[in-house]
Amino acid sequence: MQKRYSGRLFATEIIMVIVALLFLSPFYFLLVNSVKTFGEIMSNSASWPTAFQWSNFTKAWELTRFPQAFTNSLVITVISVVILALLSAMGAYRMVRANTLFNRLLFFLFIAAMVIPFQSIMIPLMRIVNELGVNNSKLGLIITYLGLGAPMSLFLFHGFVKSIPLEIEEAATVDGCTSIGVFFRMVLPMLRPMIMTVVVLNCLWIWNDYLLPSLILQRPHMRTIPLATFSFFGEYTKQWDIALPALVLGITPIIAFFLMLQRYIVEGIAAGSVKG
Amino acid sequence: MSKRRLSGWGLQLFFVGPVLLFFTVIMVIPFFLGMYYSLTDWNGVAGTVNWVGLANFKTIFTNDPDFWSSFWFTTRFTLVGIVLTNVVGFFLAYFLTKALKLRNILRTIFFMPNVIGGLLLGFIWQFIFIKGFSTMYDVTGWSFFGLPWLGDSVTGFWGITIVFIWQTAGYLMVVYISSLTNVPTEIMEAAEIDGANRWQMLRSIIVPLIMPAVTICLFLAISWAFKMFDLNLSLTKGGPFKSTESVAMNVYAEAFQNNRYGLGTAKAMLFFVIVAIITIVQVALTKKKEVEA
């Protein structure tokens, strides 16, 4: 249905641009005020800065210990996401290919668990984390993400594995490939689109998560970006000339991640939601 | 035969074992442990756990106005939030599936707030509500900007709702876009030839055909809205006077601030039951409305 670019479309375009500017306006306020003096923020928060106070950023960088928080967030997110994708791909593959009663029940159990809100298990979960002796450690946090992320990731892979034809695997087996070899050499590469989806969805979730790290990581040097931002706001309430640059620093990595991998993120969400 | 069986179990253990182990330790065990703790007076310190039967639930139902006011807030917020965020998300998708020149940039802009976590979004908006709006009031004189945003229970409610829409509409837009692009153009063309106007096409053709997406988007919006925690925490801290406290915050406060873990888990279990019932009923209801093209 290729249509001419009509006046009506042009009007729609204009209206959508206005709505988009409205959507972007909080970012405008955030950015311009992050480089103003406190006095100027107070007197007029809508104006363009008269002089750029880059020192606001230096202060925020140091006070939030940004490099440390960034590294913590990165390490936790990357390790959790990679292991989660691998383990749930393996689990889902086996559950589809070995369609036993046990595996069907297991799969149902994973799906059913998706209804459980995190708040419903967090209190006893903290007890378990303490018992395992992994409280206050990145390892404890990563293990917890593996458990919490398993149902959704496994579900996504399960649907995808079903759509992969069995013939290729049979051919590989005939050629002398072991079952484990078939998975790693043949199946895993074919799962790539769904791996992207699972990785993207889990990255957004884990990177932005506040509640779980706040329960597990008590020590300041372990803080992730959301934790560092939160404790920073407790300390510097209403000191907008350092709070706003701290927020800009906090959102920059994930915005950059989004702009770089935009296509995959949007496709991933579309693919993930169709399954969900 | 026995050798093959053994290798079957070995493979099962290799492939399913790890993910099942983490799932069991992190979700299954805490869930059942939670059922047990909800029937005790556990205060979070190991060793002193007394069985109290249904006493916690009795407390919640008869003597816990804070829980019910948080429940009422969460319910109102969920109802308003899911309607508005779905309407906005749908219309963004509806217009952004037309042949606009800036289509891709616009889609990116609308989706962007969603990649930022609720906690940081809340802090950003705290500044907008406090300083940005007061500046806009000075400039425009519109009373909308002069309201005591976040300062009382009504504006606090709407403040959180605005931020929630800003955050989630773009995500729902993506889901609606992927569904709208799958609506067969032949059906649309046929309807156009039959003289259907835009509204009729929307109501009688597009919406019924994208019902699977509606099911998903309602499901997502309900679970986000009902489990909301980060946004309230950073935007209003549940205030003023707990008027914007969500159920998730109430459960958290009961356990980790009041140190009543037993009562907290009882609330958490009740929360789970409510969430489960709502989502199952919603999915069942909207599934019924799905049609084949």
pLDDT tens-digit series, residues B192-227? 888 888 888 888 888 888 998 999 999 999 989 999
Sequence-ordered list of residues with C-beta below 8 angstroms from that of B248, at least 6 positions apart, any chain: A117, A119, B74, B227, B228, B229, B271
B180 is written with which tokens? 């709208």
**Cα first-last separation, chain B:** 49
Residue A45: strand, helix, or coil: coil
Which pair of structure tokens corresponds to residue B266? Answer: 């009882």
Q: Would you call A257 and B115 a contact, using CB atoms and an 8 Å cutoff?
A: yes
Inter-residue contact A121 to B27 (CB < 8 Å): yes
pLDDT at position B146 is: 83
Q: How confident is the model at residue A274 (pLDDT cuts 50, 70, 90)?
A: low
Structure tokens at A163: 């759509």
Residue A268 has pLDDT above 60, yes or no: yes
Interface test with A, best of B33, B120, B231, B286 (most A CBs within 10 A): B120
Find residue B51's DSSP bridge partners.
B40
The tens digit of pLDDT for each residue in A196-230 reads 989 999 999 999 999 999 999 988 889 999 999 99
Which of A181, B45, B131 is CA-nearest to residue B123? B131
DSSP state of A185: I
Number of domains in chain A: 1
Between residues 31 and 50 of chain B, which touch chain A (CB distance below 8 Å)?
Answer: 31, 33-34, 37, 46
The Cα–Cα gap between B200 and A157 comes to 39
> Do A159 and A177 contact (CB within 8 A), yes or no?
no
Please choose, from the candidates A52, A62, A98, the residue with its C-alpha nearest in 3D space to the C-alpha of residue B10: A98
* In a domain? residue A43: no
Provide the pLDDT for residue B70: 94
Residue A135 Ramachandran class (φ > 0 left, ψ -120 to 50 alpha, else beta): beta
Residue B40's DSSP bridge partners are: B51
Any B CB within 8 A of A257 CB: yes
pLDDT band at A77 (very low <50, low <70, confident <90, very high): very high
Q: A12-30, pLDDT tens digit by residue?
A: 999 999 999 999 999 999 9
- For residue B51, report the phi and psi dihedrals to the nearest 5 degrees: -75, 125
Q: What is the pLDDT of residues B20-56, one digit of tens each?
A: 999 999 999 999 999 999 999 888 776 678 888 898 9
Tell whether B129 lies on the interface with A, counting CB pairs under 8 A. no
Structural domain includes residue A9: no
The answer to whether B15 touches A93, Cβ cutoff 8 Å, is yes
**At how many degrees (to 10) do helices B261-288 and B29-37 cross?**
120
Residue A91 inside a domain? The answer is: yes
Tens digit of each residue's pLDDT (9 = 90 or more) over B168-201: 999 999 999 999 988 888 888 888 888 888 888 8
Q: What is the pLDDT of residue A70?
A: 96
Higher pLDDT, A174 or B44: A174
pLDDT at A4 > cutoff 70:
no
Least CA distance to A11: which residue of chain B? B100
A254 in reach of chain B (CB within 8 A)? yes
Any domain includes A58: no
Cis amide bond preceding B240, omega within 30? yes
Indicate the average pLDDT of chain A.
90
Partner residue opposite B99 with nearest CB, options A9, A116, A209: A9
Using CB atoms and an 8 Å cut-off, which of residues 200-239 of chain A contact chain B?
A: 204, 207-211, 215, 226, 229-230, 233
Is A23 in contact with B131 (Cβ distance < 8 A)? Answer: no
As a whole-number percent, the residues of chain B with pLDDT over 90 amount to 55
| Chain B residues with beta carbon closer than 8 angstroms to that of A106 | 16, 20
Q: CA nearest B16 in A: which residue?
A: A91
Determine the Cα–Cα distance for residues A236 and A248; give it in Å rounded to an integer.
Answer: 15
Lowest mean pLDDT among B4-18, B57-71, B83-97, B212-226: B4-18
Reduce the secondary structure of chain B to three states and give it as a string: CHHHHHHHHHHHHHHHHHHHHHHHHHHHHHHHHHHHHCCECCCCCCCCCCECCCHHHHHHHHCCHHHHHHHHHHHHHHHHHHHHHHHHHHHHHHHHCCCCCCHHHHHHHHHHHHHCCHHHHHHHHHHHHHHHHHHHHHHHCCHHHHCCCCCCHHHHHHHHHHHHHHHHHHHHHHHHHHHHCCCCHHHHHHHHHCCCCHHHHHHHHHHHHCHHHHHHHHHHHHHHHHCCCHHHHHHCCCCCCCCCCCHHHHHHHHHHHCCCHHHHHHHHHHHHHHHHHHHHHHHHHHHHCCCCC
Across the interface, whether the CB atoms of A229 and B120 are under 8 A apart is answered yes
Q: What is the mean pLDDT of residues A162-180?
A: 87
Confidence at residue B46, expressed as pLDDT on a 0 to 100 scale = 64
What are the φ/ψ torsions at residue B40 (nearest 5 degrees)?
Answer: -130, 175
How many CB pairs below 8 A link A and B? Answer: 267
**Chain A residues touching residue B279 (CB < 8 angstroms):** 115
Q: Is A266 a member of any domain?
A: yes
Residue A57, in any domain of the structure: no
A87: confidence class by pLDDT, cuts 50, 70, 90? very high
Q: How confident is the model at residue A109 (pLDDT cuts 50, 70, 90)?
A: very high
pLDDT at B77 over 90: yes
This prediction has a pTM of 0.92
Note the pLDDT of residue B2: 46
A255 touches chain B (CB under 8 A): yes
List the domain range (segments joined by +) for residue A199. 64-275
Look at residue A34 and tell me if it is in a domain: no
User: A192-208 and A262-275 are packed helices; what angle lies between their axes, rounded to 10 degrees?
Assistant: 100
Residue A12 placed within a domain: no
**How far apart are the CA of B288 and the nearest CA of chain A, in angstroms?**
17
DSSP3 helix / strand / coil % (chain A, rounded to 5):
80, 0, 20
Which residues, other chains included, contact B144 with Cβ-Cβ below 8 Å and sequence gap of 6+?
none
Report for A56-60, A83-87, A231-235, B1-5: range of highest mean pLDDT: A83-87
Q: B256 pLDDT exceeds 80?
A: yes
How far is it, in rounded angstroms, from Cα A197 to Cα A199? 5
Report the SS3 class of residue A184.
helix
**ipTM, interface predicted TM-score of the complex:** 0.91
Percentage with pLDDT > 90 across chain A: 61
How far is it, in rounded angstroms, from Cα B252 to Cα B255?
5
Q: What CATH number is attached to the domain comprising A233? A: 1.10.3720.10
**pLDDT at position A5:** 76
- The CA distance from B230 to B237, in Å, is 9
Distance CA A209, CA A273 (A): 20
Question: Does A1 have pLDDT greater than 80?
Answer: no
Q: pLDDT tens-digit profile of B142-152?
A: 888 888 888 88
